[in-house]
Chain A
C-alpha cells in the first residue's frame, strides 16, 4: 500500500520489509511490544496447538520406530516397521487405494464443481437456489451420507432396480461387496459430497473475473472453449489451487466413508492408510506399527500439500 510510490515528488524507495507493515514498522523495533492487547493473550492458543498438534505428532513419530503395543515396555527397532509396511502387499494396496481415491476424487469433483460453477455463474434466474441445493451434501456428515449410498448400491437397492427397469438386469450386482467395484462406490460418494465444495470455491473465484475481459475476448472472435482456457481459467488459478489442495489433503485421509460403506472390505479391497492406522492402532493394538503407517500418511499429505502449492501458485502474483 504505502510501498508503491504515489507521486513523483515522493521518490523514496522504502525498504521492502517496512513497506509491508505500514507506519508502525518505522517505530524502533525494540519497543515492538503490542500497542493494543497483550502478547500473553496468544499463550493459551499457542500452548494448545503446540501440545495437541506438534508434541503429539512428534511423540507419534517416535513410536513409529518402536514395537510398542500400547501397554508395557517397548524396544527401539529402527526402520523395521517401514520395511514391514513395504513388504506387506495389503499395505501397498492400501497406499494405492489412498492415492487413487485422493486423486480421482479431486479430479472428478473439481471438474464437476467447475462445470456447475461456470453454468451457474451468469444469467440463470434461479442460480442462488441451485447453488444452495448443490452445496447441501457438503454440510452433512460423511458417515450419514455414506449410509444413504450404501443403500443405493445395495443388491436390492435403487441402482439395481433402475438397471432392471431399463432391461440391464445382468449388470446388477452387490456393488459394495464386489471387490472390483467397491472402491468405485467409495469414490462416487466422495465426489458427490465434494462437488458442492469445489463449486462454491469456483463461484467465488469466478465472481472476481471482470465481465469486460470476457466480453473483450468474445469481441476478438474467440470461441467459448478458448475464452475458458485462455481467459477464465488463468484468472481463477488461486481458486484452483485452494480447491485442489484441500481436496487432496482431505482425500488422502478418507476414513468415514469407508467405515460406513465397506469397513475396508471386501477382502481388503477398499482399505486405505487411515483405516489401516485405525485398525492397527486401536483394534489390533499394534501402536508402533500403526504409528509408522500414520507417519507415512502424514509425510505423504505434507509432501502433496507442498507440491500442490508450488505447482498451482507457480507464477508470482502480479499486482
Chain B
C-alpha cells in the first residue's frame, strides 16, 4: 500500500527544497572563500564571486607561527592516526576479555567503562593537565595520543564488547583444536572477524579526535604541535572579519573529513546508527 504516488513525488521535491536550504551555509562558505578582499567588502554574501581566485587559500596555507595550518594538518593526522591505532588495539583486547570472561568482576569493569562514557572530561582536565605538565607530556604529540586513547577507550571497549558478545566461540574452539595459541587466535582469527567493529571504532573515535578543540586547546595551545582546530582558532583570532580568508581556512580544515565522509558515507552513517545503539 505504500506505493510511489504523486504524493510521494511531491514529498521528494519538498525534501530536496529543505535539503538545499539546510545546506545553504556551504554556498556562502565556498562563494566567499574565492572572493578578493575588495569583493568581500563590496558585494553581499549572496552574490557569487566574479572569478575563481585561489589567493585566499595560498595565503592561508603559507601562514606561519602560531597559525601554521600545514603543521596543524600534519599534527592532526598524526594524533588521529596514533589514537585510532591504540584505541583499536586496547579497545579490542579489553572488550574481548570483558565479553568472554564469565567472572563476576567483568560485569563490574564493564559498568566502569559505561559510566566513563558519560562522565564529562571537564572535571578531570585540570588534574590531567597538571599531571601531564609534571611528566612533560603537554605540548607533545605522544601525550595527546595517550590522552585521547584514555578518553575514548570506554567508547571503544563498549563497542567492541557488544560486537564480541554477538560472535560465537566456534572459530576460537576450532583454532584451539588446530593448535593455535591464544595470541594467534586473537590476532589472526578474532580481530579480522571484527572488522565491522574496527571500522565503527575508527570512524567514531577518529571523528571525535579530529574535531576536538577543547582538549587540544588546553594541552597543545601555544606549542609547536598544535592540531588543526587550534591553529584555525588562533589564525581566525588574528583576522578581523576577513571572511574570505577565514572561510579559506575553514574549507581547508573541512576537506579531509568531508572527502573521507563522502567516500565512505555508508560506513559513517552505519557506524553512528549501529554503534551508538549498542
A residues neighboring B (CB under 8 Å):
21, 24-25, 27, 29, 32, 34-39, 41-42, 44-46, 48-57, 59-61, 63-64, 70, 116, 119-120, 122-126, 130-136, 138-145, 147-149, 151-152, 154, 156-158, 161-162, 165, 192, 197, 200-201, 203-204, 211, 215, 218, 238-239, 242, 246, 249, 252-253, 255-256, 259-260, 273-274, 277-278, 281-282, 287, 290-291, 294-295, 297-298, 301-302, 305
Number of chain B residues whose Cβ lies closer than 8 Å to a Cβ of chain A: 94
Contacting pair A36 B169 (CB below 8 A) = yes
Contacting pair B253 A239 (CB below 8 A) = no
Give CA–CA (A298, B121) in the complex, Å: 8
Chain B contacts with A in 126-169, Cβ cutoff 8 A: 126-128, 130-131, 146-147, 149-151, 153-154, 157, 169
Contacting pair B186 A133 (CB below 8 A) = no
Contacting pair A255 B96 (CB below 8 A) = no
Nearest 6 CB-CB pairs, A to B? A56-B124, A45-B94, A52-B150, A204-B273, A141-B211, A158-B45
Give CA–CA (A172, B217) in the complex, Å: 34
Contacting pair A143 B11 (CB below 8 A) = no
Q: What is the chain A residue whose CB lies nearest that of B101? A: A34
Contacting pair A151 B122 (CB below 8 A) = no
Can you spell out 22 A-B residue pairs with CB atoms less than 8 angstroms apart?
A39-B101, A41-B96, A48-B150, A49-B150, A53-B154, A123-B2, A124-B8, A124-B15, A130-B16, A134-B19, A143-B211, A156-B44, A158-B28, A200-B272, A200-B273, A203-B273, A211-B2, A215-B1, A218-B1, A246-B276, A256-B229, A294-B120
Asked if B100 is at the interface (CB within 8 A of a chain A CB), the reply is yes
Give CA–CA (A204, B274) in the complex, Å: 8
Give CA–CA (A157, B149) in the complex, Å: 40
A19 CB → nearest B CB, Å: 13
Contacting pair A297 B123 (CB below 8 A) = yes
Tell me what chain A mostly uses at the interface: helix, strand, loop, or mixed.
helix
B residues neighboring A (CB under 8 Å):
1-4, 8, 11-12, 14-16, 18-19, 22-23, 25-26, 28-29, 32, 44-46, 90-91, 93-94, 96-98, 100-103, 109, 112-113, 116, 118-120, 122-128, 130-131, 146-147, 149-151, 153-154, 157, 169, 172, 176, 182, 185-186, 190, 207, 210-211, 213-214, 218, 229, 232-233, 236, 241, 243, 246-247, 250, 253-254, 257-258, 261-262, 265, 268-269, 272-274, 276-278
Q: What is the chain B residue whose CB lies nearest that of A281? A: B126
Contacting pair B93 A42 (CB below 8 A) = yes
- Residue of A124, A135, A151, A158 touching B12 (CB-CB under 8 A): A124
Residue numbers in A under 8 Å from B90 (CB-CB): 44-45, 48
Contacting pair A61 B123 (CB below 8 A) = yes
Query: Of A29, A123, A131, A301, which is in contact with the most chain B CB atoms at under 10 Å from its CB?
Result: A123
Residue numbers in B under 8 Å from A51 (CB-CB): 150
Query: Of B2, B4, B119, B229, which is in contact with the most chain A CB atoms at under 10 Å from its CB?
Result: B119
Contacting pair A294 B125 (CB below 8 A) = yes
Contacting pair A136 B127 (CB below 8 A) = no
Contacting pair A63 B126 (CB below 8 A) = yes
Given the contacts A123-B4, A130-B15, A151 and B45 also touching, CB distance less than 8 Å:
yes
Residue numbers in B under 8 Å from A192 (CB-CB): 22, 25
Residue numbers in B under 8 Å from A32 (CB-CB): 101-103
Give CA–CA (A116, B261) in the complex, Å: 20
Query: Of A116, A165, A200, A203, which is in contact with the most chain B CB atoms at under 10 Å from its CB?
Result: A200
Residue numbers in A under 8 Å from B122 (CB-CB): 253, 273-274, 277, 294, 297-298
A308 CB → nearest B CB, Å: 10
Give CA–CA (A11, B93) in the complex, Å: 39
Given the contacts A63-B126, A149-B25, A158-B44, A140 and B257 also touching, CB distance less than 8 Å:
yes
Residue numbers in B under 8 Å from A142 (CB-CB): 211, 213
Given the contacts A24-B102, A144-B232, A45 and B210 also touching, CB distance less than 8 Å:
no
Given the contacts A60-B123, A161-B45, A35 and B28 also touching, CB distance less than 8 Å:
no
